[in-house]
Amino acid sequence: MMEYIDNPALQALGWPKAGTLQQLRWQTLLTQYPLAYPGRVIAQHRDCYQVATATQFSMQAQAPSAWRQPHYRAQKRATTGDWVLLEGTQIVSLLPRYTALCRAAAGEHYQQQVIAANIDTVFILCGLDGDFNLRRIERYLLLLSQSGITPVIVLTKADQCEKATALAQTVSAELGVAAHAVNTLDSRSVSVLEPWLQPGMSVALVGSSGAGKSSLCNTLLGEVRMKTARVRQRDARGRHTTTHRALWLLPTGACLIDTPGMRELKPTGDEALENGGFADIEALAQRCRFTDCTHHNEPGCAVRAALESGELSVDHLHHYLKLQQEVTTARSRYTAQLKGSPGRNIRNRKNSARRF
């Protein structure tokens, strides 16, 4: 097992450095499976995985039979970016994630979908064409709020927008997050993203269909590996060209996960609005006369006062109130589900979403 602790070939795939807390946790599991070796999921298919190991960039691996049971929780199955232990081509265990980008899955029962695991940074892509939507960016930031993952806003199609740089500055100031305007088809332009693409770092690309995720992926790779397609002229909508997630090794030494454009971004209930682009409103709320102020029509409401003075935008506040409601609803759905299935507790689950 010791050979995996400080292994440069694994570190090139994002394996944590020796001595880090997450490695110490993983070592315990490694000793439980003395015959197993680690690998990172680079793609997930219907009934098998593509895994990268210290000796091979892409090999096919089978999921444990338990994962194929219909009622097995989706978030306990490996996803792109996950580290697994293998014996031969059989996956025997999933190593605990140090970060995860999750959303609530569509459907009647509460389920979490893990979009990418063990990533340091998420690039939130938004086109400076008809795709531009500050509210959608806020929603992504909310999903990332408790994940320990660094968000970076990447405004694409800068070559088609005269005010691209100024807009990136405004977005960054309003949301309190780094933002860059780029032309994803130009390698010089995307070089501003290099600080997040250092060796061993893992980055996932998210954003609507047509935002330019696969275009950015190809430019960073220096060759066309992902298919791209033109957006609809009328409304700049994409055509859902990418249909599955894939992890690539970049020439810079970073790992990059391209994802399909997402139509729905529902919170899981684990989010915290103050970390998700709404720090301004949460800070104002501290100054409201009533601690449980709903910011609707209470006297002494600092949020309404900021709205009236023009310090706060109406849309930003409305979206805050809407998302707050969604997070509360998701949390109560999750709690209701817990009552139906004893033996799990919220605190464990919350901690597992954080970096350890």
Ligand X SMILES: Nc1nc2c(ncn2[C@@H]2O[C@H](COP(=O)(O)OP(=O)(O)OP(=O)(O)O)[C@@H](O)[C@H]2O)c(=O)[nH]1
Distance CA 252, CA 338 (A): 44
Does position 224 interact with ligand X (CB under 6 A)? The reply is no
Span near ligand X by CB under 6 A; candidates 29-37, 223-231, 304-312, 320-328? 223-231
DSSP E strand boundaries for 215-287: 246-249, 255-258
Distance CA 23, CA 286 (A): 39
Does position 211 interact with ligand X (CB under 6 A)? The reply is yes
Q: Which residues bind Zn ion (CB under 5 A)?
A: 288, 293, 295, 301, 303
Distance CA 150, CA 122 (A): 6
Partner whose footprint covers residue 269, from Zn ion, Mg ion, ligand X, none (CB < 5 to 8 Å by kind): none
Does position 213 interact with ligand X (CB under 6 A)? The reply is yes
Contacting residue, 93, 121, 209, 324, with ligand X by CB under 6 A: 209
Span near Mg ion by CB under 5 A; candidates 45-53, 66-74, 212-220, 297-305? 212-220
| Closest approach of ligand X to the CB of residue 241, in Å | 4
CA-based end-to-end distance of the chain: 22
Residue located via tokens 């039979």: 65
Residue 288's alpha-carbon distances to 296, 318, 325, in angstroms, are 11, 17, 19
Does position 157 interact with ligand X (CB under 6 A)? The reply is yes
Does position 168 interact with ligand X (CB under 6 A)? The reply is no
Q: Is 42 exposed, middle or buried (0-12, 13-18, 19+ CB in 10 A)?
A: buried
Contacting residue, 183, 242, 268, 324, with Mg ion by CB under 5 A: 242
| Closest approach of ligand X to the CB of residue 215, in Å | 3
Partner whose footprint covers residue 185, from Mg ion, ligand X, Zn ion, none (CB < 5 to 8 Å by kind): ligand X
Residue 200's alpha-carbon distances to 66, 149, 197, 261, in angstroms, are 31, 15, 8, 25
The number of residues in the chain equals 356
- Interactions with ligand X, residue window 227-266 (CB under 6 A): 228-231, 238-242, 260-261
CB 270 within 8 A of CB 103: no
Positions in the binding site for ligand X (CB under 6 A): 156-157, 159-160, 183-185, 207, 209-215, 228-231, 238-242, 260-261
Positions in the binding site for Mg ion (CB under 5 A): 213-214, 241-242
